[in-house]
Amino acid sequence: MDDIVKQAIAKWPNVPDCYGWLGLDARGRWYMRDDATQAQGPFPQAKGSLLAHGKLIDFIQRNYEADAQGRWFFQNGPQRVYVELEITPVVWRIEPDFSLVAHTGRASTARECLLDEAGHLYLFDGTVLGLAHTLDMETAAQAVEAGQWDPQPVQAADLPVRYGYVLQPSVFRV
């Protein structure tokens, strides 16, 4: 978490949380969801505006984490902006050596490989479950063929509970 964010939390500790305003799609892209977008329906059916400002995206990704209930959020100064997830909290890019890099830039390695009923490939690094990026399916297939990964069958609907994350935190309030 950025120092400036920690300072803002200390200065204004009672800022209310924000729900429904930020979404993460299955390709690791961030969407801003204003009132009009939210009125059109839940994420991802009503995505909103694709964020394209590099420094803003970097700031969000440096301050992106989960709370104890598995709700992922962006700590925006003193305010938690809870993120609507299309599919998983992380989207993994797969490197040629089969190592992983999250859409946030965090490097890791796969401990589990899962394949759902729709053919989505998920990788769990021991900390967080992420979807394999669609552009990296050839590399993923090479990892499977090389015996590095053994995809286990799974039902997509079971993943949030099994791996402890919430798709729509506005629905799940503590």
Structure confidence by residue, pLDDT tens digits, 16-67 = 888 999 999 999 999 999 999 999 999 999 999 999 999 999 999 999 999 9
Domain hosting residue 46, numbered range: 3-85
Please state the pTM of the whole predicted model: 0.89
For residue 169, is it within any domain?
Answer: no
User: Are 105 and 79 in a shared domain?
Assistant: no
Q: How confident is the model at residue 136 (pLDDT cuts 50, 70, 90)?
A: very high
Question: Strand, coil or helix: what is 94?
Answer: strand
In the predicted model, is pLDDT for residue 171 greater than 80?
Answer: no
- What is the predicted pLDDT for the residue at 79? 87
User: Are 7 and 71 in a shared domain?
Assistant: yes
Backbone φ and ψ for 18, nearest 5 degrees, come out as -115, 130
User: Are 119 and 71 in a shared domain?
Assistant: no
Q: Kindly report the CATH number assigned to the domain that includes residue 25.
A: 3.10.540
- For all residues of the chain together, what is the average pLDDT? 93
Q: How confident is the model at residue 15 (pLDDT cuts 50, 70, 90)?
A: confident
- Percentages helix, strand, coil for the chain (3-state, rounded to 5) are 25, 30, 45
**Number of domains forming the structure of the chain:** 2
- What is the predicted pLDDT for the residue at 3? 77
For residue 171, is it within any domain?
Answer: no
Q: Which of 40, 62, 85 marks a domain boundary?
A: 85
User: Are 79 and 96 in a shared domain?
Assistant: no
What's the DSSP call for residue 89? S
User: Are 120 and 99 in a shared domain?
Assistant: yes
Q: Which of 53, 85, 117 marks a domain boundary?
A: 85
Are 167 and 157 in contact by the 8 Å Cβ rule? The answer is no
